[in-house]
Amino acid sequence: MLPPRLRKLARRAAGLVDDPDGMGQAMLRSPKLKEVPDQLRASLRNLTAMVNGRIVFVPAALGFGREPSGQVRAELSLVAADARSGRILWRSVPVATGATPSAALASAMAAVLPLDQ
């Protein structure tokens, strides 16, 4: 389920599930982390139960900077985790450059999730 639909679902179930944009998922960017910490795990488990899911794909962090060439550099931290067990199954930190922040981010995402244009 993509973010806009997930946000809508969370708003409709206020009090049952946490806001997906305010769960503290930035802690997942730590490369040494092997399991999702308890409070975040509970929030993810509740949210995935609402959609009958199990695996979550979490954008943990995003940073931008400038390259010496003038290009914008995007560094994105992505994590896939099992919401029931809390195990982190996969992580990636794609880095890409582009003329604008949105172009750099699109390139970083394309490195992980290549979609036909």
pLDDT in tens, 51-100: 999 999 999 999 999 999 999 999 999 999 999 999 999 999 999 999 99
Structure tokens that stand for 97 in this block: 């450059």
Q: Using alpha carbons only, what angle is made at residue 47 by residues 63 and 83, rounded to the nearest 5 degrees?
A: 75
Does any domain span residue 106?
Answer: yes
The structure tokens 């794909």 sit at 57
Does any domain span residue 117?
Answer: no
Does any domain span residue 65?
Answer: yes
3-state secondary structure of 18: coil
The structure tokens 């997942």 sit at 28
Host domain of residue 105: 3-112
Residue 110 has pLDDT above 60, yes or no: yes
Residue among 32, 13, 10, 33 at smallest CA distance from 23:
10
Q: What are phi and psi of 30, to 5 degrees?
A: -65, 120
The number of distinct structural domains making up the chain is 1
